[in-house]
Structure 1
Amino acid sequence: MKYELPDELTVECDGPIRIVEINRPDELNAVDKNLHWALANVWRQLSADTEAAVVILTGAGRAFSAGGDLDWVTSFLDDPAARDESIREGAEIIDEMLRFPLPVIAAINGPAVGLGCSIAVLCDVVLMSEKAHLADPHVAVGLVAGDGGAAFWPLLTPILRSREYLYTGDRISASTAVELGLATRTTAPDDLLPEARRLAARLAAQPAQALRDTKRVVNMYLSQALGGPMQAGFAAEVATMQTAEHRDRLVALRKNASRQKEPTR
């Protein structure tokens, strides 16, 4: 099957296994307009691939995904139509992942931040390199964590533990992520993809209908529990996108990031 996706998201076919790679390594796989669209649309294409049985989701280079691309996100400050489209598409990503019938194994090779973190924990199995970490820094830039963290983490973690990380945006190490319930298990960095492939091969050999329907039933709990909080989260995120505090924080963050990219003399 031919996948119709931009270069920012690639699909490798290995028998019944599909390896989906977030492919902006020079930008730490930060999500820009093209990648955001691809993450919303890849799941329907994978569902239509009759030879696929299991999906591995990972990142190219040093990161899984560093979250929203700062140039793209900053453009929303003066483009409400683009901002609203990004929110609609963000909700589509989550909905498509929850409805996707095949098991998805996240192979978290490096930082998974913001939307990258939300996508990671929506997967069925989350394998993390011992050098990887999670973080949801929405609040630190004046936003509600509407695209997953505030609505989804309380279903997976003790609320008293997850609040601190959501409120501060602090990094969650791989071992702590497993302890909290945000990841399945850790691996040595070099073992991450081989272990993901071994698990994918094992799942691909399982009876297909039994596996798919088991996932469907499990995800019913998630979909039902997420209905109200997710809608409220996205609405609150849109509201905070329009605040002066968010604008100031985002502009300062982008300036700082730009300075760090400047070559030294």
Structure 2
Amino acid sequence: MNYDFPDALTVTCEGPVRIVEINRPDELNAVDEKLHRALATVWRQLAADTDAAVVILTGAGRAFSAGGDLDWITSFLDDPVARDESIREGAEIIDEMLRFPLPVIAAVNGPAVGLGCSIAVLCDVVLMSEKAYLADPHVAVGLVAGDGGAAFWPLLTPILRSREYLYTGDRIPAATAVELGLATRVTAADELLPEARRLAGRFAAQPAQALRATKRVVNMYLTQALGGPMQAGFAAEVATMQSAEHRDRLTALRKSASRQKEPT
């Protein structure tokens, strides 16, 4: 199987296991336009790989994914066509992950923020390095967490707990993520990928038809439960993308990030 993706997303074959790596380490694997498109289309290519049985999703370098690339997101302020396309692709990413037939193990090696957090939590098993954390800071930049958090977290966590983290955007340490139901378990940093590979091997050895059908039934429940909230979430996110408050918050955040990158 020949996978066709930009360098920002790599697929490595290890027997029946496919390791998908988000590969923009210098940008903490922030998602730009090309990577966003790749994350929307990778699932169909993986599903067409008849030799694949399990997928491990992880990030290169220090982060799983820092969320949306600030330069790309800022471009939406004056480009409604790009903004609307990003929303359409965001919905496609979630839909494709929920429909994907193979088990997916997230090996969360570092920060998983915003879209990165949503992608991690949508996986079938979420293994987190003890150094990793989750966060969804949409509200802090004047946005509704339409690409997963507001719609998806309440299915997994006590609503009173998830509200606090969604409203504040605070970091959720790995152990707390497990306690809340947003992650499966914590591993030592150097054991994360070995443990993901061990678990992938166990999944690959299971009867394929039974495993895939079990995932389909579980995700059928999730898909039905998410239908209304996800549509409402994306509509609300588009509305907040056009607000003056979002423009001000995002512009200030981008300026702050640019100053931190300047040489001293």
2: CA distance, partners of 1:106 / 1:4: 21
Q: Who is 1:9 aligned against?
A: 9
Which runs of 5 or more residues in structure 1 are unaligned?
none
2: CA distance, partners of 1:4 / 1:228: 33
2: CA distance, partners of 1:126 / 1:105: 6
User: Secondary structure of the residue that 2:61 maps to in structure 1?
Assistant: coil
2: CA distance, partners of 1:187 / 1:41: 30
1: CA distance, partners of 2:158 / 2:217: 23
Q: Deviations over 1:191-235 (max 9, x none)?
A: 000000000001000000000000000001100000000000000
2: CA distance, partners of 1:7 / 1:209: 33
User: Secondary structure of the residue that 1:163 maps to in structure 2?
Assistant: helix
2: CA distance, partners of 1:163 / 1:78: 31
Q: Who is 1:119 aligned against?
A: 119
2: CA distance, partners of 1:120 / 1:158: 19
Q: Who is 1:85 aligned against?
A: 85
Q: Who is 2:54 aligned against?
A: 54
- Normalised to the residue count of structure 2, the TM-score between the two structures is 1.00
- How far has the Cα of 1:4 moved from its partner? 1.0
Q: Who is 2:256 aligned against?
A: 256
Q: Who is 2:168 aligned against?
A: 168
Which runs of 5 or more residues in structure 2 are unaligned?
none
User: Secondary structure of the residue that 1:231 maps to in structure 2?
Assistant: helix
1: CA distance, partners of 2:178 / 2:152: 16
User: Secondary structure of the residue that 1:147 maps to in structure 2?
Assistant: coil
2: CA distance, partners of 1:193 / 1:4: 24
Q: Deviations over 1:129-154 (max 9, x none)?
A: 00000000000000000000000000
RMSD: 0.2
Given residue 133 of structure 1, which amino acid in structure 2 is its aligned partner? Y
Q: Who is 1:146 aligned against?
A: 146
| Structure 1 residue runs of 4 or more that deviate by more than 4 Å after TM superposition | none
Q: Deviations over 1:80-134 (max 9, x none)?
A: 0000000000000000000000000000000000000000000000000000000
Matches within 5 A, 1:109-258: 109-258=109-258
Identity of aligned residues (%): 89
